[in-house]
Structure formats: structure tokens, C-alpha cells
Structure 1
Amino acid sequence: MWRGGATAASAARALRSRLIPDTSHHPATALAPIASPRSSSSSSSSSAPTIAAAVPAVAEATAAAAAVSRQAGSVSDALRHYGRCYFELSKARLSALVVATSGAGYVLGSGNMVDIAGLCCTCAGTMMVAASANTLNQVFEIKNDAKMKRTMRRPLPSGRISPAHAAMWATSVGVAGTALLAWKANGLAAGLAASNLILYAFVYTPLKQIHPVNTWVGAVVGAIPPLLGWAAASSELSLNAMILPAALYYWQIPHFMALAYLCRNDYLAGGYRMFSFADPTGKRTAWVSLRNCLYMLPLGFFAYNWGLTSEWFSLEASLLTLGLTIGALSFVLEPTPKTARRMFYGSLLYLPAFMAGLLLHRLPNEQKEHNVTQTSEITGILYGAEQQDEERARQKREDRKSSRIHSRPPVAYASVAPFPFLPVPIYVSTQGHEL
């Protein structure tokens, strides 16, 4: 009997393990009820059409989601691609330097108070015009850039964007930037921006392949943005406005001479005519750099003497220029790539330090303050005249109203006509006589 009972118990346990799965191995079905064969057969027969109908809907939804995901990915990739191309076409770092000089000119041309909204609009317009000029420069120099190691990966030589697309981008941002300056600043600032774009894209760019004088023309292009900012702030140009443009003009000569000396083989491969090509020893290039550094020495004194800055700036500017001059002198004494590179990096440090000193020690633009005061006085006079005219008109209206009241009392006639049985009232005139 014991064997029979053990056999029956083992058979029961086996049947139970088949009907009820182990919860440790099948946790998902641990709480599911065990349905009877009749109910399970009926439920499976009823749910089969539902599952069959749901499968195509799920597949369609999955395909639609995948298509939307692919489309979103393609749009995101396109935006990223063209954004990168626009960034490189605009030469964003160089354009940022142009914007910084324009903003410095705006602050220098302002009075005691700087119009922040006007400053932002001027910087935005300058940025767009600079981006347009740099893009047109690359459109015209596709073949030349393709021959140079440092430019062959640009968007146009590498084929990442078409020339027509780049030209449309340059035209749109150039027109928008000029229009913004004309709307928010004045016509003088917009005219300077448009002339600078034309000078850079249509004069300097082709001249780079014709004559070495292109370096000096490019220096003029770089000196105009501070004038643009000054004109946007004060609506005019004065002698004080020439300090920062002069510093930028003379600074660009040693800066580009050092760059042309370091990259002369690359420029030669690209077909550009640079001053350093006819100077294999580098002596003439070094002397040109030193001469223009010497031209910058008195600028700090002029800024103080003309009332643009305090006297401290004359000392600071002289020390800064003296340091750059020492770098140019070392280039003259030993014209090697090492000394040229040292002068180049020194020029990169010089310009932001010079502009920071100008802004730190600047004095308010007296002409701007005079114009503001004069405008306020004229506005006050016009406002006072308008107030007097309004007062006179109001006094005349009151006089006419009072004269009508005294000349003909309306109540006398109105009281008699509708009610003839009432006695006629007696009125007294202004002279005191009875009517």
C-alpha cells in the first residue's frame, strides 16, 4: 500500500505541475487563473478574429512611426548640414571680430548713456553684412580655395553646397543687414555697410589675384566697421571717430604681412599675389610691418588730446604698441617663421587689449551730448508753442461760449412759447439794465 500511495501522490504532483506552472520560472503567469477547457476553447475562438484584425493595424502604425522618424531625422540632418555650411561660409569668427569693432565704435560715439537696443541692432546688421561679404568672397574664389590646403575643405570647394545656394544666402543676409541698419540706425550707417560689402567682395577679392596692393585695400575694408558703429550712434562722423579706424588700418598691415610670410607657399599655390612673393629673404616684409607699428605709437596721445579718452589711455596704448613694435623689430633683425609667428600672435593680443582700453577710459562724445541737448531744447520749444496754441484755442472757445450765454438768454423764449399763461420773466443784461 505504501508503494501505491507514493505512486498516486507522485502522479498527482506531476499533473499539478502541468496544470499550474512554477511561479519562480514563470512569474508572468503566476497570478493567471486556470480556465476550464470549455471556456478556453470558446475564448480562443472569439479572440482569434480580434488578434488577426489587430496585426495589420499594429504593422501600419509601426511603419508610419518609422517613416515619421526617418523624415524627422532627415530634416534634422539637413538643418545641421546647412547650418554648418552657413557658419563656414560666413567665416563666423572673422565676422565676430568685425562686429566687435563695430560695437566698440558705437559705444565710443555714444554720449553718457548707451542705447542697448540700438547697439544690438547695429551689431546684428553688421554681422549679416559681414557674413554676406565673406560668402561672396568664397563664391568668387572657389577654384583658388580648392588649390590651398587650408581652404580646400570649405563648403564650396568640397562640394557640400552649390555656388547658387551660397550666392542666394549671401544676397539675402546682405540685403537684410543693410535694411536693418537703415531702419534701426540711419542712412549713413547703412551706406557705410553697403559700400564696405562692395569694396570687399568686388574690389579686394579680385585684386588679390592681380596686385600685392590688395593688402592695403583689405586694411581699408577692416577700418570701416568702427566708423559704421560711430555713425549709427551719433548720425555723423568727426575727427574723434578716426582713432579706432586708424588703429585697425595700421594693425592689419603687420598682422597680414606675418600671415602672408608664413603661408606664402600656400598663397602661391592658390594664385594670390602677395607682397611676400617678391621678398624671398623676408626683409622687406619685416620692414613694412615695423613701419606700420611705428605709425600706431601716437594714437593713444591723439585719443587723449582730442577728448576721446582720459590721459591713462595714452600711457597704456603706448606700452601696448611698444610691445608689438618690439615683436616687429625682432622680425626685422631675424626674418624667420619663428619671429613672424611671434609677431602674428602678438598682433592677435594687441587688438582686443587696445579696444578694451578705449572703452574703459572713454569720455562721452561731446558732440553727441550737444546734439541731444539741442534736440531736447528744440523739442521743449515746440512743445511749449503747442501748449500755448492749445491754451489760446481753449480760451477763445470759452470766450465765445460765455458771449453766447450773455447775449441771448435761452430760458426767456423757451418759457413763454410753450406756456403762454406764465408771466414773462425779467432778465438783467451784463450792463445792469433791465430788458
Structure 2
Amino acid sequence: MKTPTAAPAGAPGVPGPGPGGPASGSRRSAGVVARGLVALTKPRIIELLLVTTVPAMLLAQRGVPSVRLVLVTLVGGTLAAGSANTINCYLDRDIDAVMKRTARRPLVVGGHGTIRPGEALAWGIALGAGATALLGLTANWLAASLADAAILFYVFVYTLLLKRRSPANIVIGGAAGCFPVLVGWAAVKGTIAVPAIVLFAVIFLWTPPHFWALAMKFRNDYAAAGVPMLPVVAPAAEVTRKIVWYSYAMVAATLALAPYAGWIYGAGALGLGGWFLAEAHRLHALVARAGADPGARPVPMRLFHLSITYLTLLFVAVAVTALLPWGRW
């Protein structure tokens, strides 16, 4: 199916950065610029990434690592994620201007328009360099290398290679969001082990259902921008069917961690997985019903919000069972 092509930035009716950037000719206070730079890092996404880092560190330690190491890893992870997100905003500023959901980002003319493209790119590179130096010099160079790999994967594989070209963009590109568990594990152990890889797989399989639910809600936005997210190029029933498949695979991956994490975690993962699967099946049933009844309106954002709560509670279970002196096999 051919998707619509986004009008280029700067075309009539489409805001674009222009040669001088969105803030050309305007005076900006330091506070406005600072807020714009922070907004480019997408703090709410970073929060979710960090939720997975600390439990991975606790599980690797089977207890509490040094406070210094935890803080260093969290700050380094924040800088790395902020770098990737900022460079993503720099590269995607043309399609951000087309999409209602992103039209108020700091690089978009007519939105906040507070940051110039060159400033954003320099800020993103500086954040990445800071993450590398901090993690390498105060944790270990494996953790730093993994953080760098996440940045490079998000920028080059997801943003530049896949996002505008393939419906598999979020399936493959979403792997960038799985690296924080590897960074946390490596910071504690200096190596990567099977439990860390299982945690990586959990987030990898969680990402498509999470993001496809959002993309269903904003399907018209992605279509207008020419981004071939699965809900743009496939019928809704096919999207929800794949959401169900990935949900089962995700739950299976969570249970694969139980032999290492313990039976209390396993019970929690089983209960949470049942909850997630019930909601995935509910969405699929609503979409199927909507095909026969135009009055039925699926609510994909319910699964989207539930998926955030699910992942948070799952990693809370990882953290709690890592700290308990009992509950292991």
C-alpha cells in the first residue's frame, strides 16, 4: 500500500526550520532556551527507560549496588537517551511540523520554535559525549559502549533507515529502548549475562504493542507525514492481531526470567501478563466488532496507557524480588 508523501518543510502551508532556524530574528531568554533544550530530550520517555535500569542493576547485584554507581548509571543513561531523542528531533523536524501530536516541539516553527537546528544538533552530540565520558570513567567502558550503541542504533537504524521506509520501523528500531537494562547490568557486573538478555527481549517484545496502540490513535498524523507505521499501511484488525501475537511472546519472555529471578517474581509476571493479554484481546475484539458495527469505537489508548503501567509494575517486581532474602527457587 502506498503511503502519502509528506510535503517538505518550508513548502507553502508547511512550517519549516529555514536557514536561520525557528527562532531567527527573535530574542530568547536563557530560561526559554534551557526549557526548549530539555524538551528536546523527551523527559517522559527517559523516565520510562530509567524505570528499567535500576531493577536490572538490583538483579545483577542481588542486592543494592553502591549509591554512587546507581547515580552515575542513571545520569549517564539520562544523557545518552537525551542525546538520541534530541538528534531524533533534529532529523525529524520536517515531519514533526506536519503531525499535530508533535507540532509544538521546540524545533518546529509555529510551535514553540525556541531552538535552532544547529543548536539542537550540538546539544545532542554534547549529551552523547557526556554520557560516554561519565559512564566510561566512573562505571566501566562496556556500559559506556552499550549506551553509545543505543544512541547510534536509534539515530541511524530507526530514525534514518527505517522510520520513513518500513512498517517494521518500530519492531526493529525499538531495540534502542532495550539497551538501558544492558547498561545497568554491565555497570554492575562488567559483563552481559543471560538474565540481562532476557530483560532486553521483554522490552523488545513489549515495544510494538505499546507503540502500535499509540500509532492507531494518531494514524492520520503518521499518514499525513508519510511515515509508514503499521496502522497506516495495514487494516486495524491486522494491527491488533499482531499486537496479540507480540503480547504472548512478551509474556513468555517475562516467564523465562523466573528461573533466575525467583518464584515471587514469576507469580507477579504471570498475573501481570494475564492482565496485559486480556486487554490486548479486548482491543482486538473491539476492532473486529467495529468492522461489522460502525458504531463500535476501539480505544487503543487504553492499551497504550496500560502498557506503561504494566512495564513499570513488572520491573518493580524484578527490583523487589532481587532485594528479598527469600522467594528464590
User: In structure 1, how many angstroms separate the alpha carbons of the residues matched to 2:173 and 2:192?
Assistant: 21
Shift in alpha-carbon separation, 1:145–1:113, aligned structure 2, 3 A = closer
1:316 maps to 2:268: yes
User: In structure 1, how many angstroms separate the alpha carbons of the residues matched to 2:100 and 2:193?
Assistant: 44
1:82 maps to 2:33: yes
Give the letter for the 1:311 counterpart. W
User: In structure 2, how many angstroms separate the alpha carbons of the residues matched to 1:323 and 1:96?
Assistant: 23
User: In structure 2, how many angstroms separate the alpha carbons of the residues matched to 1:255 and 1:233?
Assistant: 29
Tell me the equivalent position of 1:334. 286
Alignment of 1:169-184 (within 5 A): 169-184=123-138
Give the letter for the 2:129 counterpart. V
Does the CA contact (< 8 Å) of 1:298 and 1:318 recur in 2? no
Structure 1 residue corresponding to 2:277, chosen from 325, 331, 345: 325
Tell me the equivalent position of 1:226. 181
Which has the higher Rg, Structure 1 or Structure 2?
1
Tell me the equivalent position of 1:278. 233
Structure 1 residue corresponding to 2:118, chosen from 164, 169, 173: 164
Pairs aligned (count) = 285
Does the CA contact (< 8 Å) of 1:300 and 1:313 recur in 2? no
Tell me the equivalent position of 1:129. 80
After superposition, the C-alpha distances for 1:277-325 in whole angstroms (9 at most, x for unaligned) are: 2223x111001110111112334442231x2x22111111111011110
Q: Percent identity?
A: 31
Structure 2 residue corresponding to 1:107, chosen from 50, 58, 61: 58
SS of corresponding position for 1:362: helix
Does the CA contact (< 8 Å) of 1:103 and 1:229 recur in 2? yes
After superposition, the C-alpha distances for 1:35-67 in whole angstroms (9 at most, x for unaligned) are: xxxxxxxxxxxxxxxxxxxxxxxxxxxxxxxxx
Give the letter for the 1:362 counterpart. A
User: In structure 2, how many angstroms separate the alpha carbons of the residues matched to 1:361 and 1:237?
Assistant: 20
After superposition, the C-alpha distances for 1:383-413 in whole angstroms (9 at most, x for unaligned) are: xxxxxxxxxxxxxxxxxxxxxxxxxxxxxxx
Does the CA contact (< 8 Å) of 2:97 and 2:108 recur in 1? yes
Shift in alpha-carbon separation, 1:84–1:363, aligned structure 2, 3 A = closer
SS of corresponding position for 2:61: coil
User: In structure 2, how many angstroms separate the alpha carbons of the residues matched to 1:298 and 1:194?
Assistant: 29
Does the CA contact (< 8 Å) of 1:299 and 1:317 recur in 2? no
User: In structure 2, how many angstroms separate the alpha carbons of the residues matched to 1:116 and 1:224?
Assistant: 21
Tell me the equivalent position of 1:214. 169
Structure 2 residue corresponding to 1:266, chosen from 209, 212, 221: 221
Does the CA contact (< 8 Å) of 1:310 and 1:363 recur in 2? no
RMSD: 1.6
User: In structure 2, how many angstroms separate the alpha carbons of the residues matched to 1:182 and 1:197?
Assistant: 15
Unaligned 5+ segments in structure 1 are 1-76, 365-435
Alignment of 1:403-414 (within 5 A): none
Tell me the equivalent position of 2:105. 154
Give the letter for the 2:125 counterpart. T
After superposition, the C-alpha distances for 1:206-246 in whole angstroms (9 at most, x for unaligned) are: 22111111111232111111011100110011112123222
SS of corresponding position for 2:209: helix
SS of corresponding position for 2:107: coil
Unaligned 5+ segments in structure 2 are 1-27, 291-296, 325-329
User: In structure 2, how many angstroms separate the alpha carbons of the residues matched to 1:174 and 1:200?
Assistant: 12
Give the letter for the 1:290 counterpart. V
Shift in Å at residue 147 of structure 1? 0.7
Shift in Å at residue 112 of structure 1? 3.7
Does the CA contact (< 8 Å) of 2:54 and 2:319 recur in 1? no
1:351 maps to 2:305: no
Tell me the equivalent position of 1:239. 194
Shift in Å at residue 362 of structure 1? 1.9
Does the CA contact (< 8 Å) of 1:320 and 1:350 recur in 2? yes
1:292 maps to 2:246: yes
After superposition, the C-alpha distances for 1:134-185 in whole angstroms (9 at most, x for unaligned) are: 0100111111111111111111112321101111111111101111000011
User: In structure 2, how many angstroms separate the alpha carbons of the residues matched to 1:249 and 1:97?
Assistant: 14
- TM-score of the aligned structures, taking structure 2 as reference length: 0.83
- TM-score of the aligned structures, taking structure 1 as reference length: 0.63
Tell me the equivalent position of 1:4. none
User: In structure 2, how many angstroms separate the alpha carbons of the residues matched to 1:107 and 1:136?
Assistant: 31
User: In structure 1, how many angstroms separate the alpha carbons of the residues matched to 2:304 and 2:48?
Assistant: 16
